[in-house]
Amino acid sequence: MDTRAAFIGLGTMGRPMASRLLAAGWDLSVFDADPAAMRPLVEAGARGAASPADAVADASFIVTMLPNSQHVLDATTGQDGALTAAAPGSVLIDMSTINPMTSRNVATFAGTRGVAALDAPVSGSSAGAADGSLTIMVGGDADVLDRSRHLLSVLGARIVHCGRSGMGSAVKLANQVMAATSMVAVAESFRLAQALGVDPRLLYDVSTSSSGDSWSLRTRPPVPGVLDSSPANHGFRPGFKADLMRKDLDLALSAAASAGLDLPLAAAVHDLYADLGKAGFGDRDFSAVIEVLPR
C-alpha cells in the first residue's frame, strides 16, 4: 500500500493529524506558512518542505488542513501551489471547512493535472484529531475514496461518502448550522433558568434526559460548575474557536444565498458570533456566546 504523503497546514487540527500519520508509519513531507508550526513534525521524522509544490514532490496523497477557501486556493492552485507539482495519479484530500463551490473548482483544476480530489472536512475537536476519532465527510468519486481509505482511517473513526465533489463541504456546513444555533439556544436557556432562580446543574441534569438535549448542551454547558470538562470552567478555553464558528456560518450563509435560500436563524446567530469576536472572545470556545446575550 502506498504510504507517501504531503501534509499542508499544521495548525490546531493539522498538527495532531500529521503526527498520527507519522506514528502510523507514513512517509511524510510537511509544509506550513509558519515555519514554527513545522518544527515539531520535522523533529518527529517528517521532511520539512519549502513550499506546497516542494512538499508534494514524492507524494501519492496530498492532505490540506487550512483555515478557509482562499488559503486552500493559494496552497493548491496558486504560485508554488501543490497542484503545480503534484504527480499525475496522486490524490488531493482537502480536509479544511470551505465553500463547496471552491471544493468543486479545486477538484476541476486538479483534474486538468491528472490529480484526483476529495473534499473531506471533519467534525471533532483537536482532541478528536489527536486520538483519530474524527467524523470525515467526503465529497468526490467513490473509487478515489476507496483508494484513500487507508489514510483517512488513521485520522477518523467514521468516514461517510456524501456524494460528488463539494458534497462533503456541503454536509459540513449544514452540520455547523445545527451546532452554532443549538449552542445559542442552550445559552439562552441557561440565561432564562438563571433569571428564574433555577440551579444550572439541575437544568443540565433534567435536560440531558429531556426534549432539550443536544450535543451543545452535553459537551459545553455555558456556565461554570455544571460539567468539569466544559470550556466554561476554564474561561472558555480550549475548545472550538468562536471566530471559526462565525467563519463557518459565513460560508453557510453564502452557500445558502447561492442556492437562493434565506437562513433567518443562522443569520441572527452569525451576528451574535460576530459581536462575540468584537467583544474580544473570538479565540474562546463558541459556548462563550452566552457572554453577548442579555442578562
Nearer to ligand NAD, 137 or 186 (CB): 137
CA torsion through residues 91, 57, 39, 22, sign: positive
The residues, ordered by sequence, that sit 6+ positions from 243 with a Cβ below 8 Å of its Cβ are 273, 277, 282, 283
Determine whether 172 is an active site residue. Answer: yes
Question: How many alpha carbons lie under 13 Å from residue 182 in its C-beta half-sphere?
Answer: 17
Among 5, 6, 7, 9, interactor with ligand NAD by CB under 6 A: 9
C-alpha cell at 55: 512538499
**What minimum distance in Å lies between the beta carbon of 213 and ligand NAD?**
22
Element (H, E) at 147: helix 142-155
Among 10, 106, 170, 180, the residue binding ligand NAD under the rule CB under 6 A is 10
Nearer Cβ to ligand NAD (172/189): 172
270 binds ligand NAD (CB under 6 A): no
Residues in contact with 34: Cβ distance below 8 Å, sequence separation at least 6, in sequence order: none
Name the one range near ligand NAD by CB under 6 A: 11-19, 83-91, 157-165, 283-291: 11-19
Q: Is 126 in the site for ligand NAD (CB under 6 A)?
A: yes
Q: Is 222 in the site for ligand NAD (CB under 6 A)?
A: no
C-alpha distances in Å from residue 185, one per residue of 43, 179, 191, 243: 44, 10, 10, 18
**Site of grid cell 484529531:** 129
- Near ligand NAD in 59-88, by CB under 6 A: 65-67, 71, 74-75
Residue 251 sits in the site that holds ligand NAD (CB under 6 A): no
- Our finding on whether 159 is near ligand NAD (CB under 6 A) is no
Interaction site with ligand NAD (CB under 6 A): 8-14, 31-34, 37, 65-67, 71, 74-75, 96-97, 122, 125-126, 240, 244
Catalytic residues: 172
